[in-house]
Structure 1
Amino acid sequence: MQDTDWYGPDVATLGDRLAAAREAQGMSQETLAKNLGIKLTTLERWEDDLSEPRANKLSMVAGILNVSMVWLITGEGEGVGNPEEDTTMGADFTEILAEMRALRVQIKARTDKLGQLEKRLRQALKEAAL
């Protein structure tokens, strides 16, 4: 489990990375929202991956949290390190975290496949209508 990139593109989302960078700075959601001049609910939606910041706000977030915009978007580049592994955690806890990360990767792959199928279906329907 130690080789896992917790914030890589196949494991974490923009919201995950945003929350991790904010927490690494010891900043509350309320403080970050205030510094960005946005509503708390807006930041919560970003961290929950229900919406995404515009480019200008993304740039501000990266600057405030001292990470690169590329890292926030893709998980690659300068960001925050993996959380320290807690040696007091039981094996069960560690296994559950590993299984959750593996499941997230599977869900992302299935979501990508679903998007491809929807695109093919739209194209087939469009061609059938002609």
Structure 2
Amino acid sequence: MENESDTNFDWYGPDAATFGDRVLGAREKAGMTQAQLSRRLGIKLTTLQAWEEDRSEPRANKLQMLTGMLNVSLPWLLSGEGIGPEEPNTAPLSDDIQTILIEMRAIKTDMNRTADRLSKLEKKLRLAMK
């Protein structure tokens, strides 16, 4: 049985996808491999992989190039709102699955923030030890 939230689920929206998820989805929809896109952008493959894994984000000039190559809007790439690729052909997700996905994204975001805080503390410690 479907409910209204199942049919309105925004697969690439801010509650369901991260920046990296949107890059990966748009790249796949464009029919490009990571190697092909990184070569076209003039970046290392590891840089693109970091973007898709939400470990880093591109600078403004590469972000603009990325939107052109993937045929998506800048707002969509950053927030999930705007013109993006078609949503993947999947069955509507149940409320339970949507809740799990949202919680997983929140945990991933928290982990990234914690890793950033740890890096800053390590840098402070190195400076304090000099």
Provide the TM-score with structure 1 as the length reference: 0.71
Counterpart Cα distance in 1 of 2:42 and 2:106: 36
Counterpart of 2:77 (choices 72, 81, 85) is 72
Structure 2 partner of 1:26: 31
Residue correspondence of structure 1 range 1-130 to structure 2 within 5 A: 1-85=6-90, 97-104=97-104, 106-107=106-107, 111=110
Q: Is the 8 A contact 2:18 2:105 kept in 1?
A: no
Partner amino acid for 2:101? R
Counterpart Cα distance in 2 of 1:105 and 1:25: 24
Deviation at 1:102, TM superposition (A): 3.2
Q: Is the 8 A contact 2:20 2:51 kept in 1?
A: yes
Residues 2-35 of structure 1 show CA distances to partners (whole Å, capped at 9, x for unaligned) of 3210111122111000000000011100000000
Q: Is the 8 A contact 2:15 2:102 kept in 1?
A: no
Count of matched residue positions in the alignment of Structure 1 and Structure 2: 107
Give 4+ residue runs of structure 1 displaced > 6 Å after superposition: none
Q: Runs of 5+ in structure 2 lacking a partner?
A: 1-5, 118-130
Structure 1 partner of 2:121: none
Counterpart Cα distance in 2 of 1:48 and 1:106: 14
Identity rate of aligned residues, in percent?
A: 49
Residues 8-67 of structure 1 show CA distances to partners (whole Å, capped at 9, x for unaligned) of 112211100000000001110000000000000000000000000000000000000000
Counterpart Cα distance in 2 of 1:2 and 1:28: 30
Q: How well do the aligned residues superpose, as a CA RMSD in angstroms?
A: 2.6
